[in-house]
Amino acid sequence: MQLGDDLSPRPARPGLFTRIRNNFLTGLVVIAPIGLTFWLIWSVIGWIDGWVLPFVPLSYRPDIWLLQKFGLDVDIRGIGVAFFLLFTLLVGWLAKGLIGRSILRWAENLVQTMPVVRSVYGGLKQIAETILAQDQSSFENACLVEYPRKGLWAIAFISTSAKGEIKQRAGVPMMSVFLPTTPNPTSGFLLFVPEEDVVILDMTVEDAAKLVISAGLVYPAGQVPPDAPASAKAVS
């Protein structure tokens, strides 16, 4: 043995079972998001079909026509979605006309005479108009707020500036923010926070939602801490 030879032990080569496990986990990381996305879309389409198709006359359904004409019992997913989109476009077109506005006004007046229904309809209408209004900036920014106490920070989404009685009684400029829960961001809390206590983030709403859903494991690209685990760096 000559001087200078490297006497440090060489790292052991992973065994066959370890390589198979690593390959399986890598494949799972690739397949799981794609599979879950397609499954979710497929399930939503099926749910809409099941809700809409009972209202569609059988003579207008392609699957019934194929069954009666050729004896093919085919489940065509998405028929209900297509009818729903066409119906929505038709209602929107009619609502812009004079006759459509008159019918809509008459229907709303009828709903206003029903004690419980008018409260539900009024709330849902206001929410829909706020979310779908093209000139309304809602949920366009992610932010940090101290919650549930000072010194603890949580990611939230800015809804709007506080208005009405809340603005008057607060005495200081307030912002309404939605604080989502982890890992289900569809539920959460509505908070009214002073504007000076809201820290607006540079990351997009989509990146902030990924961070919330992953329980802090998935950071936006380019903002991953140096000591973060490997799973946090695999962000597209």
Give a yes or no: residue 81 inside a domain.
no
Burial label, 185 (beta-carbon count in 10 A; 0-12, 13-18, 19+)? middle
Return the higher-pLDDT residue of 155 and 161. Answer: 155
Element (H, E) at 188: strand 188-194
Identify the band that residue 133 occupies on the pLDDT scale cut at 50, 70 and 90.
low
Give a yes or no: residue 205 inside a domain.
yes
Mean pLDDT of 141-167: 91
Q: What is the pTM of this model?
A: 0.53
Give a yes or no: residue 128 inside a domain.
no
Q: How far apart are CA 44 and CA 183, in angstroms?
A: 20
Give a yes or no: residue 28 inside a domain.
no
For residue 157, pLDDT beyond 50: yes
Question: So what's the pLDDT on residue 72?
Answer: 80
Identify the band that residue 142 occupies on the pLDDT scale cut at 50, 70 and 90.
very high
Mean pLDDT of 6-26: 74
Q: Which of 213, 209, 174, 214 is nearest to 192 (CA)?
A: 174
Q: How far apart are CA 172 and CA 195, in angstroms?
A: 8
For residue 217, pLDDT beyond 90: no
The string of pLDDT tens digits covering residues 88-114 is 898 888 888 878 788 888 888 888 888
Burial label, 175 (beta-carbon count in 10 A; 0-12, 13-18, 19+)? buried
| Helices 79-95 & 16-52 angle (0-180, nearest 10) | 50
What percent of the residues of the chain are helix, what percent strand, and what percent coil, each to the nearest 5?
55, 15, 35
| The one-letter amino acid at 144 | L
Give a yes or no: residue 151 inside a domain.
yes
Length of the chain: 236
Question: So what's the pLDDT on residue 92?
Answer: 85
Q: How far apart are CA 177 and CA 194, in angstroms?
A: 10
For residue 236, pLDDT beyond 80: no
Give a yes or no: residue 49 inside a domain.
no
Element (H, E) at 118: helix 115-132
Q: How many domains does the chain have?
A: 1
Identify the band that residue 221 occupies on the pLDDT scale cut at 50, 70 and 90.
low
The string of pLDDT tens digits covering residues 206-216 is 899 888 888 88
**DSSP code of 8?**
S
The string of pLDDT tens digits covering residues 19-75 is 888 888 888 888 988 888 899 999 999 999 999 988 988 888 888 888 888 888 778
Phi, psi of 200, deg, nearest 5: -75, 130
Give a yes or no: residue 168 inside a domain.
yes
Structural Rg of the chain based on CA atoms: 27
Element (H, E) at 157: strand 153-161
Asked if residues 224 and 203 have their Cβ atoms less than 8 Å apart, the reply is: no
Residue entry with tokens 């709007």:
160
Give a yes or no: residue 54 inside a domain.
no
Question: So what's the pLDDT on residue 234?
Answer: 43
- Classify the C-alpha dihedral 69-73-75-81 as positive or negative: positive
| The one-letter amino acid at 177 | V
Q: How far apart are CA 104 and CA 113, in angstroms?
A: 15
Domain, as residue range, for 159 = 142-233
